[in-house]
Structure 1
């Protein structure tokens, strides 16, 4: 499989966006963050999302806030499934209660770990329809840091297709 670091365009079907956003909105109605994944393949400068996955997840609410966690068994199951289907995680998408930003917890507990992969943060528990311009987009660099992709660049990097 091609490396994600050289990808300049992520092609994402509207259905994959809708599948994740529906999950984020559903758990958000109960006051929780949610997590979804876009999986697919990379060829040259293009990564193509083939489908969305909603992994089993633990929704967390404590005095310090809300969060979402995917356990080790689920991570193992997911990795076996990806291997069997010759797919990889291209992006992780999760929601926040208010502003969209990548927190330190998000940095430290990422599921997408390949250099060049994306992490999207949807604001306001996904109460409104998906809008790339209000979604925070980050990309993992070679140093292991999540760098914010400016909104104008995010709209060029992520191509929404029917």
Structure 2
């Protein structure tokens, strides 16, 4: 049975908040990350929340990052309370390289339809546009980078606000 491709509505506010979150780590020469929560209806996924990760459950380094199961559980609890689910993530890489690394492919979330965006230059430029990023989906058991035309058709810049949440140790 064929299913229609998933379309993502990504509010500009989500992209702005995500770049700002990752730039904190980029300023220290490390990869950064923000998680996206949202809803799906009739094949359209709308990003509604940007989640910033805090505390000992996240490790950020120049060449990798890792999220503990305990911190992901906190994200899950937030999603359940909000009536949404984890729909994607954005993380940064050094320089202009925006493909997924082998570690990203192997250890990242591997769920059909999951969106994984890679921002260049450790997200240090506040005006980084989605067109400058690598946009990848997990589809049919593998990661695939969207080409420019497919990205434009399937990841729609939307208006509206998003909720920006923090999980993890806030101290």
Q: Do Structure 1 and Structure 2 share a fold, with TM-score over 0.5?
A: yes
Note the 1:33-52 alignment, pairs <5 A.
Answer: 33-52=31-50
Please state whether the residue corresponding to 2:64 is helix, strand or coil: strand
> Which of 74, 82, 90 is residue 93 of structure 1 equivalent to?
90
Compute the displacement of 1:109 (Å): 2.0
> Which of 139, 151, 158 is residue 155 of structure 2 equivalent to?
158
Partners of 1:130 and 1:18 lie apart in 2 by 8
Note the 1:22-41 alignment, pairs <5 A.
Answer: 22-41=20-39
Partners of 2:74 and 2:41 lie apart in 1 by 25
Compute the displacement of 1:13 (Å): 1.3
Q: How many residues align?
A: 152
**Contact 1:137-1:148 at 8 Å conserved across structures:** yes
Alpha carbons of structure 1 residues 87 and 7: separation in structure 2 relative to 1, 3 Å = farther
Partners of 1:6 and 1:41 lie apart in 2 by 17
**Contact 1:7-1:44 at 8 Å conserved across structures:** no
Task: Name the structure, 1 or 2, with higher relative contact order (CA <8 Å, separation 6+).
Answer: 2
Aligned CA RMSD, in angstroms, stands at 1.5
Paired position in structure 2 for 1:142 = 140
Alpha carbons of structure 1 residues 6 and 35: separation in structure 2 relative to 1, 3 Å = farther
- Flag structure 2 segments of 5+ consecutive residues without an equivalent: 160-171
- Flag structure 1 segments of 5+ consecutive residues without an equivalent: none
Compute the displacement of 1:55 (Å): 2.1
